[in-house]
């Protein structure tokens, strides 16, 4: 069974790989290159087709802007099966945007550093992979420098996101309170996502109004970072985003040491890193909840809800062993009942939990993959094994879907996975987990 699934996973990835040297997340629903998807996909490819893995990363990094920014979607082709496309985003408004690729003017979690390190770990031919990394690594460094220079207005070592799409966890209930502070216009537009996926599994029209309005404000200011920091109604320090930055910082340090030279760069990253880890622990840990939380930088208050992002610091070695214990207790207490698969994306004991709706509850394989590695690293062997086993079981039961109901008994006659099918990162990270 697992061997068949392994072959199927490879078939999913190969079918989603495009002539332009990038992989779509899911046919129809997501027809372009997404930043953090690409990173996870490259990890999957690295196990069986190293050249595709390199191509995926090269193509993504090739779309980098002159200021180091890497966009969240690269529009390689014209395709009207997705909204909002290149004609809505207008990345060319920013003077330093790529002249070669049209893209969005927002980013996604900084995966590229740790992905290069994972590719090195997986590669059989280490020398060849290190040569590839030498070609690309300075672009990742420039990306981190961009974040620390432009996304940390109070110089705390914690970078902000200015849009919920930058978090990767698009319609998380965490954003609900921010939406209440805004009153966007009613936009007139044609949704494309709900032609591919049932509307009950996707964000609402009113939520989309908020998403579009934030982009409009950024566009009115030509995607200028300082202006966005001043004016965006959405400005959040996200634990997942910052944990991935910290994980990638460490990867850059390790890889630069291995390459040799680069003393100046290593010194800078170490400086960013120690400040980031300290602030992360001081500011984002909520002792009463026993979890890390998001911080609303625009309205200056913590957003006190537990999500799967709350546990992501385990992946980046951020909590002390004592705090990691607290975190895992919270996870098992609220998310880990025997009637559930790990790990719901939102607190199942909270009223806002919805087991079928995108980031408001369903299980996502990329989060499980990160949590599995983090738990393993801290020595939580049993919980790590369950995280992996639950992920595999969900895929065995339903297929390579985008997200899954965490309830073992959904009450449906024909239970199914949700969102897009033949979803690339579910396939890619399955390949990594069973290897």
Residues lying near ligand 9YW in the complex (CB under 6 A) are found at 25, 30, 34, 36-37, 165, 168, 170, 193
CB of 30 to ligand 9YW, least distance (A): 5
Name which of 309, 313, 317, 327 is nearest 383 in CA terms. Answer: 327
Annotation marks residue 347 as catalytic: no
Burial class of 435 by CB neighbour count within 10 A (0 to 12, 13 to 18, 19+): exposed
- Which CB, 34 or 45, lies closer to ligand 9YW? 34
- Which CB, 25 or 417, lies closer to ligand 9YW? 25
- Which CB, 34 or 341, lies closer to ligand 9YW? 34
Q: Do residues 107 and 71 lie in contact, with contact meaning Cβ atoms separated by under 8 Å?
A: yes
Cross-strand partners of 303: 294
Name which of 155, 156, 151, 51 is nearest 110 in CA terms. Answer: 151
Q: Which of 170, 207, 254, 393 is catalytic?
A: 170
Name which of 28, 41, 27 is nearest 424 in CA terms. Answer: 41
Q: Which of 37, 402, 405, 432 is catalytic?
A: 402
- Dist. CA 141–CA 148, nearest whole Å: 11
CB of 421 to ligand 9YW, least distance (A): 12
Beta strands in 179-231 (DSSP E): none
- Which CB, 30 or 346, lies closer to ligand 9YW? 30
CB of 83 to ligand 9YW, least distance (A): 8
- Dist. CA 252–CA 246, nearest whole Å: 10
- Dist. CA 192–CA 84, nearest whole Å: 9
- Dist. CA 225–CA 211, nearest whole Å: 18
- Which CB, 85 or 290, lies closer to ligand 9YW? 85
- Which CB, 126 or 206, lies closer to ligand 9YW? 206
Q: Mapping DSSP to helix (H, G, I), strand (E, B) and coil, where does residue 258 land?
A: helix
Q: Report the run of H or E that residue 219 belongs to, with start and end.
A: helix 205-220
Name which of 168, 202, 162 is nearest 38 in CA terms. Answer: 168
DSSP of 352-389, one letter per residue?
Answer: T--TTSTTSS-B-HHHHHHHHHHHHHHT-HHHHHHHHH
- Dist. CA 381–CA 274, nearest whole Å: 28
Annotation marks residue 170 as catalytic: yes
Structure tokens given for 341: 């698969």
- Which CB, 36 or 147, lies closer to ligand 9YW? 36
Name which of 1, 40, 168, 11 is nearest 426 in CA terms. Answer: 40
Q: Mapping DSSP to helix (H, G, I), strand (E, B) and coil, where does residue 245 land?
A: helix
Structure tokens given for 384: 């790590």
Widest CA span in the chain: 61
CB of 185 to ligand 9YW, least distance (A): 20
- Which CB, 170 or 176, lies closer to ligand 9YW? 170
Phi and psi at residue 34, in whole multiples of 5°? Answer: -105, 145
- Which CB, 74 or 129, lies closer to ligand 9YW? 74
CB of 402 to ligand 9YW, least distance (A): 7
Q: Is 28 left (phi over 0), alpha (psi -120 to 50) or beta?
A: left
- Dist. CA 45–CA 13, nearest whole Å: 8
Q: What angle do CA 429, 237, 317 make, to 5 degrees?
A: 50
CB of 78 to ligand 9YW, least distance (A): 17
Q: Mapping DSSP to helix (H, G, I), strand (E, B) and coil, where does residue 319 land?
A: coil
Looking at beta carbons, which residue is closest to ligand 9YW?
A: 25
**Catalytic residue annotation:** 170, 402
């Amino acid at each position: 069974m697992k061997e068949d699934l392994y072959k199927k996973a490879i078939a999913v990835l190969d079918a989603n790989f495009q002539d332009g040297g990038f992989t779509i997340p899911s046919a129809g629903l997501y027809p372009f290159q997404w930043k953090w998807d690409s990173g996870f996909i490259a990890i999957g490819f690295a196990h069986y087709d190293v050249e595709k893995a390199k191509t995926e990363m090269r193509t993504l990094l090739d779309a980098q802007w002159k200021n180091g920014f890497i966009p969240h979607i690269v529009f390689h082709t014209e395709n009207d099966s997705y909204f909002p496309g290149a004609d809505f985003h207008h990345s060319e408004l920013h003077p330093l945007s790529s002249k070669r690729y049209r893209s969005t003017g927002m980013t996604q979690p900084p995966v590229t550093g740790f992905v290069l390190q994972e590719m090195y770990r997986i590669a059989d031919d280490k020398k060849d992979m290190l040569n590839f990394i030498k070609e690309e690594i300075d672009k990742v460094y420039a990306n981190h420098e961009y974040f620390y220079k432009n996304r940390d207005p109070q110089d705390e070592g914690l970078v902000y996101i200015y849009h919920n799409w930058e978090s990767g966890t698009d319609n998380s209930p965490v954003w609900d309170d921010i939406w209440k502070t805004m009153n966007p216009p009613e936009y007139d537009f044609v949704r494309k996502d709900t032609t591919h996926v049932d509307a009950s599994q996707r964000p609402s029209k009113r939520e989309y109004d908020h998403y579009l309005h934030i982009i409009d404000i950024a566009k009115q200011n030509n995607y200028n970072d300082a202006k966005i920091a001043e004016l965006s109604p959405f400005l959040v320090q996200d634990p997942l985003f910052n944990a991935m930055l910290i994980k990638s910082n460490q990867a850059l340090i390790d890889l630069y040491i291995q390459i040799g030279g680069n003393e100046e760069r290593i010194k800078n990253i170490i400086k960013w890193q120690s400040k980031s880890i300290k602030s992360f622990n001081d500011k984002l840990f909520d002792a009463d909840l026993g979890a890390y939380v998001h911080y609303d930088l625009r309205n200056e208050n913590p957003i006190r809800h537990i999500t799967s992002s709350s546990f992501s610091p385990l992946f980046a070695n951020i909590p002390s062993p004592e705090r990691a214990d607290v975190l895992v207790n919270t996870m098992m207490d609220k998310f880990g009942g025997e009637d559930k698969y790990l790990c719901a994306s939102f607190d199942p004991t909270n009223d806002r939990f919805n087991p079928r709706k995108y980031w408001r509850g369903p299980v996502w394989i990329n989060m499980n993959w990160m949590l599995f590695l983090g738990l393993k690293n801290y020595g939580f062997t049993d919980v790590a094994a369950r995280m992996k086993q639950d992920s595999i079981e969900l895929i065995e039961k339903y297929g390579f879907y985008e997200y899954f109901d965490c309830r073992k008994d959904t009450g449906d006659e024909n239970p199914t996975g949700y969102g897009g099918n033949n979803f690339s990162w579910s396939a890619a990270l399955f390949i990594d987990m069973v290897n």
